[in-house]
Structure 1
Amino acid sequence: MTGLLPTSIVGSLPKPVWLAEPEKLWSPWKMEAGQLAEGKRDALVLSCAEQHRAGLDIVSDGEQTRQHFVTTFIEQLSGVDFARRETVTIRNRYEASVPTVVGPVAREKPVFVDDARHLRAHTDRPIKWALPGPLTMVDTLYDAHYRSREKLAWEFAAVLNQEARELQAAGVNIIQFDEPAFNVFFDEVNDWGVAALERAIEGLNCETAVHICYGYGIKANTDWKATLGSEWRQYEEIFPRLQTSGVDLVSLECHNSRVPMDLIELIRGKKVMVGAIDVASNRIETPEEVANVLRSALQFVDPDKLYPCTNCGMAPLPREIARGKLKALSEGAELVRRELTGVQASPRESSTHHRAGETVAAS
């Protein structure tokens, strides 16, 4: 797809202050109707340009056109009533008021396909698009129709497959499914969760990824992580099943986590998106810190299968912090890339490497 140690973000980037309230999840839009649609597209192009400027190898939309990584997709489906709310416990961690499944779920029109075409028109680099995974979608709703998490997951998997096939046709190179619920519901993951994910990727020729992290840096998540002890071994429960799945890449949280790096051995043969940027902190990593995470991972994954990335999305962070973290990711990967290839460079060359002369098309 691209060169050695291709860098990317996992999901979201902060939105411009003129589009949405800063440093918030579920941030309210500041525009309406046609203006909002235009503003979202402008933000997408800006996000693309910032990833170019940072030197990332694989570009995404930064989730600029969506309010939430799960709900924005579900909003476009029939069979879900957003006016009928119920309180549920999401990922056994925090309570939230969620919409209700009231009938058969169906995708009546494309959700992100036009946005993907817009991104494709503004970069020559490989692009990655994130969709919510079936199990995480199930865990974000109240089901008054199927009354079975497994049945609902299979319905969502079919819907996701329709969207994924059209995203592939629009020029997307990697389709990533976000499954933070995989870190919680181990029996469901192994019994039917991975199988439902494989239904979602059925028939795709582009690369596919599953992202499994410990969540945004919000209090509910950081409080949960504080209860997990000196080692976070959740991946150990699900990696053996993922290793035998048809998913190409597995994304995991590594930097400033207590995940034993040797758990990567359980997905030997898969490409691994190693989270080398901590999204739960406003501190900007140094390139050397990023490089150290990657060096550690290289004990358990071959260089041609290592994809440096962020731990999770960065929507709640200040934009300048996110920019600094993107730059650190790119420069840290370049340090290791040059060690692997035996190429020496000045600090300036390391920060720009092969990006000189590239431009971003105007919107």
Structure 2
Amino acid sequence: MTTLSPTSLLLPTSTAGSLPKPSWLAEPEKIWSPWALEGDQLMDAKQDALRVSLQEQLHAGIDIVSDGEQTRQHFVTTFIEHLDGVDFKQRATVKIRDRYDASVPTVVGAVSRQKPVFVDDAKFLRAQTDQPIKWALPGPMTMIDTLYDSHYKSREKLAWEFAKILNDEARELEAAGVDIIQFDEPAFNVFFDDVNDWGVATLERAIEGLKCETAVHICYGYGIKANNDWKKTLGSEWRQYEQAFPKLQQSSIDIISLECQNSHVPMDLIELIRGKKVMIGAIDVATNTIETPEEVANTLRKALQFVDADKLYPSTNCGMAPLSRQVARGKLAALSAGAAIVRKELTA
């Protein structure tokens, strides 16, 4: 049982996703980093890393905490690894989010989930803290974008199957005490026709029947070279959100998470989701420069022109797995301090 609900505090802070892993668990500052241990030692190390990640969030003053994705190698593939119908040995090269080539597993049969994937980890996190907790799952469209499909041969059909599987997982996470379930959908910034034709609909299938708060996280990606190079091609204004926001504003999702710090996203696009809770990315994860609290506060002040204060959730742009632990700590502290500045202004 949490001591405060995610909405009882003005401007509650959170992270968008991953936090850096300690070197004794996996090679740091790298996504898809292999584990340094095996068997029971790996299980202990994952739980220890989760404890450390939680303590660093609490020490920094983060209000809505997470597992920091310490028990997974990657925000999408770790979930898929636990499903039937996907062969990780049969691989193909695909272009992920129309940006970079990657060797990915193949869908060879009907996809299904035989048992929960993250529920034990969520129960472990829930037992460590009374703070509100948020859990991230990959969204249906981003899952299909990380695979080669030789079975369904239809992006839409596969997305609907994943949506049902995600809904089963989400219901069990809710029962385990998770307060906010977030679906990561960076693919929403790329495949605009699919988003509006069936992407938002499959997301709504994934949250069907949930009573906890739900979020969709749509960013411009980790601070890795392929993503940074892509951003350089987007011009002086990044208006991708314009394509998905109207449909999301009409959806049943509670919170929409977007990237704002050091990005070229026009802040007034938030007007398109008026009425929704908005998780504002006020920390840039593509640089080692630690924001000042005032820089964070300034981003939040700009956002408050377009979203009511009781619906604003300060957060990071994306996950911080590729950053050093020292930089991530500094950024978390800056996020909390910046939110505190604006919170004080609002309640003065």
TM-score (norm 1): 0.94
Equivalent residue for 2:331, pick from 325, 332, 335: 325
Q: Deviations over 1:16-35 (max 9, x none)?
A: 11111011111111101110
| 1-structure distance, mates of 2:180, 2:106 | 31
Counterpart position of 1:350:
none
Q: Deviations over 1:262-311 (max 9, x none)?
A: 00000000000000000000000000000000000000000000000000
1:298 pairs with 2:304: yes
Counterpart position of 1:310:
316
Counterpart position of 2:29:
23
1:206 pairs with 2:212: yes
| 1-structure distance, mates of 2:123, 2:244 | 34
- 1:232 partner letter: W
Look up the SS of the partner of 1:330 in the other structure.
Answer: helix
| 2-structure distance, mates of 1:60, 1:23 | 19
- 1:198 partner letter: E
- 2:196 partner letter: N
Counterpart position of 2:142:
136
1:166 pairs with 2:172: yes
Identity within the alignment, %: 77
Aligned-pair CA distance for 1:136: 0.3
| 2-structure distance, mates of 1:43, 1:290 | 27
Counterpart position of 2:111:
105
| 2-structure distance, mates of 1:221, 1:33 | 34
Runs of 4+ in 1 over 4 A off after TM superposition: none
| 2-structure distance, mates of 1:66, 1:165 | 20
| 1-structure distance, mates of 2:312, 2:112 | 36
1:10 pairs with 2:49: no
| 2-structure distance, mates of 1:111, 1:39 | 18
1:242 pairs with 2:274: no
| 2-structure distance, mates of 1:165, 1:111 | 12
Q: Deviations over 1:14-62 (max 9, x none)?
A: 0011111011111111101110011001111111111000001100000
- 1:261 partner letter: M
| 2-structure distance, mates of 1:197, 1:45 | 30
| 1-structure distance, mates of 2:160, 2:44 | 34
Counterpart position of 2:82:
76
- 1:252 partner letter: L
Look up the SS of the partner of 2:128 in the other structure.
Answer: coil
Counterpart position of 1:62:
68
| 2-structure distance, mates of 1:102, 1:133 | 20
| 2-structure distance, mates of 1:29, 1:94 | 24
Q: What's the Cα RMSD here?
A: 0.4
Show structure 1 runs of 5+ residues with no match: 343-363
Look up the SS of the partner of 1:82 in the other structure.
Answer: strand
